[in-house]
Structure formats: C-alpha cells, structure tokens
Amino acid sequence: MVNYPKAFIYDLDGVITDTAEFHFLAWQKLAEEINISVDRQFNEQLKGINRMDSLDRILERGFSGRIFSNTEKVALATRKNEYYLKLIESIDPSHILPGIETLLQKNKERHIKIALGSASNNASAILDKLELTSYFDYIVDASKVKKGKPDPETFTTAASALGIAPDDCVGIEDAAAGIESINKAGMFSVGIGNAQHLAAADYLVEDTAKLLFEDLIACYSKR
Ligand code: BG6
Ligand code: MG
C-alpha cells in the first residue's frame, strides 16, 4: 500500500541549489588568507554546519598556536560571508537543481506540506532569488534554532511549526551532519550524494535529477 508522508523538509544549500559549492569557494578563499588549506575532502565536514562552527573547524584544522579572539572570529566570518554574497549575487531560477521544482509541485498536488530546514542566515534571500518562496509553508533558517545540525532541532522545529509528527516527515539533505540531524529527529532521511558520506540515509540518490517522487514514496511506504 502506498503511504504518503505529510511533510517534506528540504535542506537548501546543495539540495535546492548548488550554493554548497559557493560556501566551499568562499571558505577556501578566507582560509587561504590565514594560511589554512581547505580542500574538498575537508569541506565535507563543513557541509550543513553553521557559520561560526564552520570557522571553528577551519581554525582547529590549521591550528598554529594562535588564539583568535571572538572579535577576530566575527570579522573572519563576516569576511567569508562577503565573499559568499558576491558569489551568489547573480543567482536566479536557472540555478534550481534538476528535479527539485517537479518534486515541490508533486508535494503540492498531494497536499504534502513543505518546509525549509537550513543552517544558513542567507536562506530566505536565496529562496527569493530562486522564486521558490511561495512553495514553502514554513522556513527554518539559522535564526530559528539554538543548536545547529547535527542536532535535530532544525528538523523538529520545522515539523512542530507545521503541526506534523516526525514519523510523517521526510527530510532531504546533502550533508552527513544533516542526515544525522534528520535521523535523530525520527524522520525518514533522504541523502543526495554518495554512500561514502551519507551511508546513514534511509534513501540515497547520487544527485537531484535522480530524486523521483514516486521512487522515494515507494521506499518510504516500505519502511
Ligand atoms: C549551510 C551550509 O546550509 O549553511 C554551510 O551547508 C554554511 O556550508 C551554513 O556554512 C551557514 O550559512 P551562512 O549563509 O549562514 O553563512
Ligand atoms: Mg546542504
């Protein structure tokens, strides 16, 4: 029997649009300026992690004995955000990843609620640029949570705002921290990426083009 979830909670960066790449490029530039190398492999540990925690991970990686004051850290994080904002300046609906808008439309057809579960302060602005805001019943961004991913708070906050039990929710993520967050929230987790990083996902596809509503629902129904 087909069993439909009552809500889909989408991560933004790396799921709806490829801003995960822009976060990587901005962190890499900032890190280079303080002589710390950030490569793609290390970047996997930054995906889904909020701004200040990401900076802490970078500083820890390049620890040289220098202690950064809080003021210095805020200045570094602000500089990274300036690089990032420059990179996302020209984002428009053509930057929506393949298959995502179809999925949102199918959610609507089935009266499945839609929420955003993002760690980013820039989330609402990006959804606006993509012209997707009207699909969303609720938006969780960095301002709405105390504990970032991998804590479940991002996803539980979205579910309770929608008034839907975690068991009836599907969460979609490209980050290991995000899949952990969804699983801890007691929801069905969908990973976008490879098994090396996202083995804990209940359902995994390589990229959003392979994320088909019917296949996902078939797997959700069998759980
Ligand atoms: C997450 C990204 O969605 O948002 C992280 O995966 C990013 O890479 C985090 O650091 C915070 O984003 P922002 O826009 O608040 O700096
Ligand atoms: Mg992401």
Shared domain for 49 and 108, answered yes or no, is: no
Span from the CA of 215 to the centroid of ligand 1 (angstroms): 29
Residue 159 is which amino acid?
Answer: A
Distance 47 CA to ligand 1 centre (A): 7
Q: Is 139 assigned to a binding site?
A: no
116 and 148 part of one domain: yes
Beta bridge partners of 117: 140
Q: Evaluate whether residue 2 is within a structural domain.
A: no
The number of domains in the chain is 2
Q: Are 11 and 36 within one domain?
A: no
On whether both 154 and 86 belong to a single domain, the answer is no
* Minimal-distance CA residue to ligand 1 atom 16: 51
Does residue 13 share a domain with residue 97? yes
| pLDDT (0 to 100) of residue 64 | 81
User: How many Cβ atoms from other residues are within 10 Å of residue 21's Cβ?
Assistant: 14
- Residue 45: the pLDDT is 96
Indicate whether 103 belongs to any domain: yes
50 labelled binding-site residue: yes
| Residue 13 counted as an annotated binding residue | yes
What pLDDT shows up at residue 65?
A: 82
Six token digits for residue 65: 């004995």
Verify cis geometry, omega within 30 degrees of 0, for the bond prior to 150: yes
Q: Within the chain, which residues score under 50 in pLDDT?
A: none
Whether 115 and 212 share a structural domain: yes
Same domain, 12 and 74: no
Q: What is the pLDDT of residue 181?
A: 98
13 is catalytic: yes
Residue 66: the pLDDT is: 85
* 65 and 151 assigned to the same domain: no
Residue 192 near residue 81 (C-beta atoms within 8 A) = no
Instruction: Indicate whether 102 and 130 sit together in one domain.
Output: yes
Residues 49, 99: one domain?
A: no
18 CA to middle of ligand 1, Å? 12
* Domain termination residue (choose one: 90, 106, 133): 90
Atom of ligand 1 nearest to the CA of 141: 15
135 shares a domain with 73: no
Which residue among 13, 84, 116, 173 has the greatest number of ligand 1 atoms within 8 angstroms of its CB, and so is best to mutate? 13
Domain that holds residue 30: 20-90
Q: Are 127 and 116 in contact (CB under 8 A)?
A: yes
